Every structure is written in C-alpha cells, then in structure tokens.
Amino acid sequence: MLLSYFSPLAPAAILLLSALVLLIVGPRLPQQWQNHPGIRYFSVPGLAGLAGLSLLFVQLSTDPEALTDGLRVLSGWNFSTPQSVATLSVRADLLSLPFLIVVILVLLAVTLLHFDPLSTSSDAITWTRVAGWFTLGAGACFLFVAANGLTLVYAIVAFDTVTALYWLNQRHHGLAIARLFLGVITTGGILLASLMASTAPATGFSILGLALWMRLGLYPFLEVATHTRWTNNSRLIYQCLSLTAGIYLTIRAIGQPLPEIIRWLIVLTALLSGLLAWLTSLVDSDDTAEETQRTRSALLTWLILTEVLLILLAQPLATGAVAAFAVGLILSFVALWVTPALGRPRFKEQAWSWPYLPAAAATLTLIGAPFSLGWVAKLSIYQSLLNTNQPVMIVFVILAEALALSGLVRYWFTLARGDEMNSWWSTIGIVAMVPFLTPGLGTYIFSALTQSDLSIASLDLSVAAITISIIEPVIGSFLGYFRYSIIDRLRIPTDTVIHIARLGWLLQWGQIVFREIGKFGLRIRVILEGQHYVGWAIFTALVGALVILLS
C-alpha cells in the first residue's frame, strides 16, 4: 500500500475498538447529543471509513513465495528447541486485500443507509446493534489475514464465536450452538486435511468438504428458515460477512476436486436454493414497504446462495478469478438489496439512470456479462463442470442457475412498479461499489489491486462452456417472465414446495432425534448402573436369550 506502517490487523483492531467505543460511550451520551446530526449521521460511517483508510497504510505482501514478506508474528512458543515451531502470525497479501475491501464497503454502505438523514424514522440509535456489526467485521478481517494454519484455526473459532454471540443476542440459542459446532467441524476438517495429507488424504478432505458445504449451504438454509423476522440491515451485514468468510475459506483450503458425494450434496442444495428463488412471490405494490423489502431480500438470499454453492462446487479454480467473482457477488448483493423501488425511469429528466445504475451493474455482474467481475469466473466454473464428464450433474447445475437468475426478472418488475423515494445515504454508500461492478472498469481496478490475470485468453475454453454462459440468462429470463403460466400449467403447490425446500422441518426433526437419543442414553446408563432393577433384569434376560440362540 502507500505506507507500510500498520499491522495487517489494523482494520480489525479499529473495528473492534469502534465497537467498544459505541458500547461504552454511545449509551452514556445525553439524548440531545445522540440526536445531534453530526453524531447521529456521521459518527458510525466515519468509524467504518477510518477502518477503510487504515488499509492504505497496511504492509501488503505481493510475493506469495516469500514466506517472510509482510509477516507479523503475534505470538510464538518454543518447545525444547531454539526455534519457534508454533506461531500465530498474520499477513495481508493479494488474496486478503479484496476481501478486506469488501468488508469495509459493506459496513460503510449499510451504516450510511441505517443513519439516513432523509429518513422520517424517530427510532433511537441502537448502539448495541451497530457494535455487533463492527465486531462481526473485525472477526472477518482477522480471518482474512491469518498467515498460517494455526492462526487460521484461531481465526475461524473467533469468527464463529462472535457469530454465535450475535445469534444469542437475537435470542436464537439453537443457531448459536450450531454455529459453534460448525466452527469446530470446520477447524477439524482443516486440521485433518493437513495432518492426513500423506496417510489418508481422502478422509480428511471429505470432512473438510462436508464442513464447507454445511457452512455455505445447509447452515444458511437453517438460518433463513428459523429466523425470518430479523431487521433488514442486520440480516444484510450478517449474510454478507458470513458468506464472504465461507468463500475465502473455500479458496484457501481447497486445492483439489471435492469427493463425489460432497459434490452431489452441493448440487442438490444449489437446486433447492434456485427453486426457492423461482418460487418466491414478490408482493404487490399496494403492500407495505416492509413486506416488499422482506420478499425482495428473501429472493436475493436464495439467488446469492446458489451462486456461492457453484463456486464451492467448481473448486479448485484460478484464485484471481474466484476472488473477483466473490467481490462482485457480495457487492451486487448489497447494491440490489438497498436499491429502492423507484418506479419506471423518467427519460425526460436528466440523470434519470443514476438510481438504477448500481442495480444494473450488479445484474450484469451476476449473469457474467463480458468484462465484468463474474465473466471469467462463470466461464471457469462451466468449463470445470464440463471437465467432470457428468452430464446429469451439469444439467442440474444449469437448471439451478437458471432458476436462481429468473428472480432478477421479477426483481426489476418490482422496481418498475414501486414508488419509493431515493435514499441519499444509500446512493453515497453504493456509489463506491459501482466502479467494481461496471464491466471493464471493475476488472481493471481489481487487476490493478491484486495483480490478477482476468483475461479470457488465459482460459482453455470449449464451445460448450461459452454456449452455457449465453443460454443461462436466456433460460432464466424465460422462467422468470413466464413463471405464473408455468406454475399454473404444472399445478405446482408453491406453499407446500417452499415449506419442504426451505428445510425448516429438518431442524425440527433433528431436535426431536437428538432429544430421543439423549433419553435413550440416559435409560441405558440407568440400566447399566443397576439403578433400575426391572430394566436390568430385562436387559440380562435379552442378553442371555441372544447367547443361547447364537450358540
């Protein structure tokens, strides 16, 4: 960067310190100070911007082969040797930088939207909620600068612990405990994959692939099915940071194709997500703005989950292409989420296109338009799937992708039917994302920052991969435009299918199964300890009868 004065942990430290300031100082301010425009509208975005400015002074490693370039040791232990054999070290490299930028842009955009000076809401500033956002961002930044496997394990545990605390604050104890188990499974998969690389690589890698599928597929399904009433801003930041962390782990941890069973789990989950994106009904214009935003956010959630699962399915891919698509994917998610339903464009007015520019650029990125951040990655994903020579899996992937992209058609119809007012803060927040989402300009900026080759000439493409990239948006547009006709003709019970596909029932049945297993274990313990004499007698008789029959 410009000056290498700061540690790679500087953004995380500033965000964490900002969270502490908001928790300690914010509630103690007099009410008139809390409502002062200078504090209410500029303090929180200013703290997020300060963390972003710190990136200019972080020491950046540009050579991945140089092990000591930009390395900062946090802690080291000596075990009967003069050299430190176990260390906690951090380093910001060319892979970490785009993900750090995404965290800052997401926090900046949502905080600007949350503290909108044009808003008529009189709600008091929720310092605890904003401090939780900054804490999640700090945990993600720590994860992105982990320089070795031991530090990465600590970072995963820290991030998932912070996420579990977020769910505890939302009073969802089940999701909090599940998140802790997810962190343990992920770290266990990473450790086993590294320790068993020479002895039993398939076992350790299968556990790692299963953990990543749970992190990017199964667990997000359970989150959406369980917690449907969270606030839009909290939901947006949480999902962006959670998915970004999962994509980063996917890029960093996977160096070979996933096992066959894991790949099919990913494909089926992506198909369910695409189906939910297609079946999600957007409300009419006469419904409340809250209901409209809730259905739009649900549609966008299923769309983004499908794209994220495809990234996991096609690994390993070129790091630069996948990182570029991850940046475009998350920023597109935010841009589409915060764009208000303004109604039809007014061509007679000057600059009528500015409110629609972020959503249009995000749409081009998601469909993989030429020269966008999703272009090379989408072609790489299709080519990787074609190389597997599994036509059934490829058909399922094409169907899942088309179903997910069909939601963009209804999204734009909703924008055209709306009559909302444009948000000044949201425009400022997403204007920083537009350069990354603009075809041509986005790839140039990303290549300049990360020195990645995003040229299509570097790919060994087939005609089939190019054909799939062209027909996918066409099929998605067809499914989106004729959605009601297809549902009526096929007589699809949408409510029943949505209930089954959301997997909410899976969490309920899982709780029942674990409860019964726990009760059975207690019964066995009581019998074996001799505290239940009739049960012990029955158990002895059954064992004796089994011995007699076998003899």
| Domain shared by 459 and 530, yes or no | no
Beta bridge partners of 146: 90
pLDDT, residue 86, reads: 66
How many angstroms separate the CA atoms of 266 and 272, rounded?
Answer: 10
| Domain shared by 282 and 391, yes or no | yes
Q: Is residue 334 part of a domain?
A: yes
Reported confidence tier of residue 282, pLDDT bands at 50, 70, 90: low
Report the chain's C-alpha Rg in angstroms. Answer: 25
User: Does residue 516 have a pLDDT over 70?
Assistant: no
Q: Is residue 184 part of a domain?
A: no
**38 touches 45 (CB < 8 A):** no
Q: CA dist 145 to 103, 170, 460, Å?
A: 13, 28, 32
Q: CA dist 174 to 84, 179, 180, 231, 508, Å?
A: 40, 9, 10, 19, 11
Overall domain count for the chain: 2
Determine how many CB atoms are found less than 10 A away from the CB of residue 83: 7
Query: And the tokens for 57?
Result: 């002074």
The torsion angle over the Cα atoms of residues 112, 114, 120 and 121, rounded to 10 degrees, is: -160
User: Does residue 153 have a pLDDT over 70?
Assistant: yes
Per-residue b or e along 122-132, where b marks 16 or more CB atoms closer than 10 Å to that residue's CB: eeebebebbbb
- Largest Cα separation within the chain, whole Å, is 94
| Domain shared by 539 and 442, yes or no | no
Q: What is the DSSP letter of 148?
A: S
Mean pLDDT, rounded, for 399-410: 90
User: Does residue 455 have a pLDDT over 50?
Assistant: yes
Mean pLDDT, rounded, for 419-425: 65
How many angstroms separate the CA atoms of 83 and 523, rounded?
Answer: 53
| Domain shared by 433 and 519, yes or no | no
Q: Is residue 16 part of a domain?
A: no
Q: Is residue 351 part of a domain?
A: yes
Mean pLDDT, rounded, for 162-188: 86
Q: Which residues contact 172 (CB under 8 A, 6 or more apart)?
A: 226, 227
Last residue of a domain, one of 502, 525, 540: 502
How many angstroms separate the CA atoms of 264 and 142, rounded?
Answer: 32
**109 touches 433 (CB < 8 A):** yes
pLDDT, residue 397, reads: 92
Reported confidence tier of residue 422, pLDDT bands at 50, 70, 90: low
Q: Which helix (H) or strand (E) holds 75?
A: strand 72-77
Q: Is residue 102 part of a domain?
A: no
Q: Is residue 488 part of a domain?
A: yes
| Domain shared by 518 and 449, yes or no | no
Which domain does 525 fall in, by range? 507-550
How many angstroms separate the CA atoms of 338 and 430, rounded?
Answer: 8
Reported confidence tier of residue 130, pLDDT bands at 50, 70, 90: confident
| Domain shared by 483 and 366, yes or no | yes
Q: Which residues contact 424 (CB under 8 A, 6 or more apart)?
A: 116, 117, 118
How does pLDDT run across 193-235, given as a tens digit for each residue?
877 666 666 777 888 889 899 999 888 888 887 776 666 778 8
| Domain shared by 545 and 493, yes or no | no
Q: Is residue 85 part of a domain?
A: no
| Domain shared by 485 and 517, yes or no | no
Per-residue b or e along 198-226, where b marks 16 or more CB atoms closer than 10 Å to that residue's CB: eeeeeebbbbbbbbbbbbbbbbbbbbbbb
Strand, coil or helix: 179: helix
Q: Is residue 512 part of a domain?
A: yes
Q: Which residues contact 21 (CB under 8 A, 6 or more apart)?
A: 47
Query: Mean pLDDT in the chain?
Result: 80
How many angstroms separate the CA atoms of 250 and 231, rounded?
Answer: 28
Q: CA dist 294 to 228, 232, 280, Å?
A: 9, 8, 11
Mean pLDDT, rounded, for 20-48: 75
Query: 455-461: long-range contacts (C-beta < 8 A, 24 or more apart)?
Result: 455/376, 456/375, 456/376, 456/379, 458/318, 458/376, 459/376, 459/379, 459/380, 459/383, 460/383, 461/379, 461/383
- Lowest mean pLDDT, pick from 222-231, 267-276, 439-448: 222-231
Mean pLDDT, rounded, for 16-27: 83
| Domain shared by 451 and 380, yes or no | yes
Mean pLDDT, rounded, for 128-152: 88
How does pLDDT run across 288-345, given as a tens digit for each residue?
566 667 778 888 889 999 999 999 988 888 888 889 899 999 999 988 888 877 766 6
| Domain shared by 480 and 494, yes or no | yes
- What pTM does this model have? 0.86
**320 touches 454 (CB < 8 A):** yes
User: Does residue 119 have a pLDDT over 80?
Assistant: no
| Domain shared by 535 and 472, yes or no | no
| Domain shared by 418 and 520, yes or no | no
pLDDT, residue 524, reads: 59
Cis ω for the linkage preceding 316 (within 30 of 0): yes
